[in-house]
Each structure stands twice: as C-alpha cells, then as structure tokens.
Structure 1
C-alpha cells in the first residue's frame, strides 16, 4: 500500500513575511500541527483497516516452518485489501497497514522520521526569526523536541505491541498506538512547559559555553604573560 502526501513549496521570503505578519504565531501553529501529521496518516490507515476487516476483524501472528506469518480470520472474499488468509509478516501490504509487530515498529520509525523532517526546519526558522537569536536556545529546543518525539513513538509502539500480544483484533494495536502516542506527546509538552525543561537546558548550555570561554581567555592571558616575562614574541602561537 502507498500513501499519498501533499507537499506545499513556499519561498523563504513568503514564510518570513507570514511570520512577521503573525508575529511568529504562524510558525507556532505549523510546528504544533506538524506533530500530528504522523498520527493523522496512521488514522487514515486505521480507517482503511477497519473498512477492510471490520471493527472486530481478527489477525494473529504464527510461526510456520521457521517463518512468521500473519493469519487473517473471516471471509477473504469480502475483503479488498487482504484477500488472502495468510501473509508473511514482512509482506509490504501487511507492514504498510500496520498489522503485526513488524508493521507497528516500521510505523513508529517512519512516523518519528516524518515528524522530525517537518518539525526541525520550523524550529530552526522560529529561532532565526527571533529578535535575539541564541545558538544555545536553538540547540536546547532541538534536543528536547527530538527526545519528546522519540519517547512518544517508542511508548506508542510498546503499548501497541503489548496489546497485539493479548488480543487478535487487528485494529486494536493501531488504534492504541495512535492514542498513546498522542497522549505521551501531550504529556511531555505539558511537562516541558511546567518545569521549563527547554529553558533550563538552554541556560545550562549558556553557562557551559561561558565557562569554556572564560577558561580559554584565562589560558590565553597566562600564555601572554609568560611570553612577556620570558622575552618571547608576544602572541606567537595564539594570533599568528
């Protein structure tokens, strides 16, 4: 199965103009929305899966001659996607429809990649458009955002894999992965805002950078003093 994606190409000047008109709120909206794109695509797959198998359509994994298969229960003649009763767990159709452990893991990885692909440029743009751009703020924001994306994807996949082991309802793992992933993402965003994790990380990076700068300055000063005291060429090895 293949999914259709719509991409809108906007020039840099247009994005900057939109950001200025909306005072960067427009970028905030895009950034928030980008976090739900993967879940939206998974929801569309869930809809197709339910339409093909029904709400209670059943499927389970089974090892046969050393190979893992996904066995579908019900009447294959009434289905349009899974017209057979048995597929390898690595079958492209099975994986794309997020059925079985392989499908769940693949969906989690692809969803995380898509979210990162959409979110990272917006984060960079948001910081570049600020009146006061600080590299440590950008690094902190990127770091925390990537960690949140990773945790949400992993938590969703873990819960989906777990429910897939205790039930044969094919749509259940997909639905749970979407709900848990969104809940985890929301909870992490709330924690970040409440405890100001991104701000604290940015301050920590700033302090570390400041300490390193001071250390370097002291080392340069010590070397210059030694050169002067020993009648050496002042600045040699430092500036030239």
Structure 2
C-alpha cells in the first residue's frame, strides 16, 4: 500500500470506531442491570483525531506557502527589500518631524553656559507644535524624543537598530516557517548575519547623522542624513551578502559543526597535555633568558656611562663576563 492509501485507511478507522467487549453471562447481566437503572455514559468520550488536526494544519500551510513564496519571500530576499521597509518607517518619522517642527528652516546651535550645554533653536517658534521655546538643555526629554542634539541622535539610532533587529528576526522566522528545507541552525545563522548587518548600518548612520548635525546646523539634517546612509549601507551589505554568499556560508558552517561535533571533539582529545605543557615551559624559559641577557647588557652600558673619565686604566680593560652566571631556568 502506498502512503495515500494508508492515510485513507487511517481516516476510515478514525471515523468508524468499533469497540468489542468479551464478557461472561454473569458480567453481561450485571452490566445490563446497571444500564437499565442509570444513565450510563459511553465507554469512550468523543474527541478530535490528532491525525486529522495535523493533516488540516499541514493542508493550511501548504495553501499559504505558494502565496508567501510568490510575494513576501521574493521581496525580502532582494538587496533593497528590507532597507525599503525600514526606509518607509524612516520616511513616516521624517514627515512627523517636519510637521512638529513647522518645516525645515529650524536651525540648531550648541552653547555652553555655567558648565552646562544647551541647544539653541532658531527659526519660527510659532510654527512648531513641539519645542516652541528657543533654548533647551541637551538632556531635555522632548528634545531627545525629536532626535535633536547628541543624545537625541543617539536615541534615534538605537531605536532604529532595535527596529532593524525586530524586522530581521521576524523575516528569518518566516523564512524558516514556510521553508521545509531550512532547519533551526539555518534560522540561527540567518538571524546572526542579519543582526550584524543591522549593527553596521546603524553605526554608520549614527556617525553620519552626528557629522551632518555638527556641520550643516539644520535640525532636520541628522534625520535625513542618517536615514539615507542606513538605506544605502543596508542595500550595499545585502548585495555583498548575495554576491559572496556570506549568510549561506555561516549556515553551512553551523551545520557542518553540528554534523561533525564528535569528530571535532575527538581531535581536541588527541592533543597531548604533556606536550603542550612542555612547549609552554620551553617558550617561557627562552623569553626569560632573553630578558636576562638584555638586562645584563644594559647594566654594563649604564656602569660605563656613569664612570667619570680616566677611572679605567689606559690599557685595554674589560668588565668581567657576567654571562658565566647562569640563572636557573623556570
């Protein structure tokens, strides 16, 4: 029988259960008497068949998988897919920033007063919904929430990095869930590579945002520069990943290590601890001998430099050879 016939037979057995009780005449009479005097429940409570549940879930997954592979799978596996999703979020934040600041004309200037640093905003305070004043401390909560100042830029970069991590983990989980050929090690390897790319892009974006805010002086400059650089670096890193198969190599390495864990452990066990100790002691002894020789030569030179002229006799004179003093090796 093939697998289809076995599955059909299993469903028929689940839908047509039959229970047989073999009793003696006395036991049958007692059972009939009990059944006549009480409402006796069936011998087996009705329940759902686990095989049917698994079959239904598998069928639902098989029906969704083609739609995922034809849409989201193709999109997130392009070099620009994930950066575009994150860029759309940055675009929404930028539009909200422009609305709350009343345009792009607000400039930022840093001043120090009584040992504290302040941010001076110039422009049209009446057009701004938030930060309607002209001077704020760099640690002001609203200033940080708007992403202005060094603390605000750092906070925005950290928020962007966290969002990138959430996106990366979610996409890799979907790739693992809808692809039966991807195992747990592939999932972990993919998440690790994506987190590294997110960290690099966020670090570059933060550095450029700080530089743009210091040089250009506009409040919106760090927001624009940081978002653009994160998008460009993200696309570049994804292209390098596709070009050189970085993620695939990491996943293959993890699978190889898991498949050959016993062999790797045996190789480490083959190392003789006595040979390693002998090599370490020999190397340490050579280093000590070299240090002693260097100290001896420096001592000779220091003595000769400190002696006044004419102290030594005119005939050739040599200091005693200190090399005969052999120090014990460790």
Q: Conserved in 1, the CA contact under 8 Å of 2:108 and 2:217?
A: yes
Q: Conserved in 1, the CA contact under 8 Å of 2:106 and 2:124?
A: no
Deviations 1:9-48 (A, max 9, x none): xxx99x9467413153444267576654543333233224
Indicate the residue corresponding to 2:223 in structure 1: 174
Q: Conserved in 1, the CA contact under 8 Å of 2:168 and 2:195?
A: no
Shift of 1:136: 2.6
Q: Conserved in 1, the CA contact under 8 Å of 2:190 and 2:247?
A: yes
Indicate the residue corresponding to 2:94 in structure 1: 46
Larger RCO (CA within 8 A; separation ≥ 6): 1
Indicate the residue corresponding to 2:52 in structure 1: none
| Structure 2: runs of 5+ lacking an equivalent | 1-56, 269-330
Q: Conserved in 2, the CA contact under 8 Å of 1:56 and 1:169?
A: yes
Q: Conserved in 1, the CA contact under 8 Å of 2:168 and 2:191?
A: no
Shift of 1:184: 0.5
Deviations 1:119-175 (A, max 9, x none): 313312311321223233212211111111111111111101011121211111110
Helix, strand or coil: the match of 1:24? helix
Q: Conserved in 2, the CA contact under 8 Å of 1:164 and 1:173?
A: yes
Whether 1:208 and 2:257 are equivalent positions in the alignment is yes
Helix, strand or coil: the match of 2:109? strand
Shift of 1:217: 7.9
Relative to 1, partners in 2 of residues 1:48 and 1:189: Cα closer, same or farther, differing over 3 Å?
same
Helix, strand or coil: the match of 2:120? strand
Aligned equivalents of 1:17, 1:91: Cα separation in 2? 53
The partner residue of 1:82 within 131, 134, 137 is: 131
Aligned equivalents of 2:107, 2:120: Cα separation in 1? 8
Deviations 1:93-133 (A, max 9, x none): 21121111111111111111122223313312311321223
Across the aligned residues of Structure 1 and Structure 2, the Cα RMSD in angstroms comes to 2.9
Indicate the residue corresponding to 1:151 in structure 2: 200
The partner residue of 2:180 within 103, 120, 131 is: 131
Aligned equivalents of 1:60, 1:133: Cα separation in 2? 52
Indicate the residue corresponding to 2:73 in structure 1: 28
Structure showing greater radius of gyration is: 2
| Superposed counterparts of 1:53-202, under 5 Å | 53-202=102-251
Aligned equivalents of 1:54, 1:63: Cα separation in 2? 27
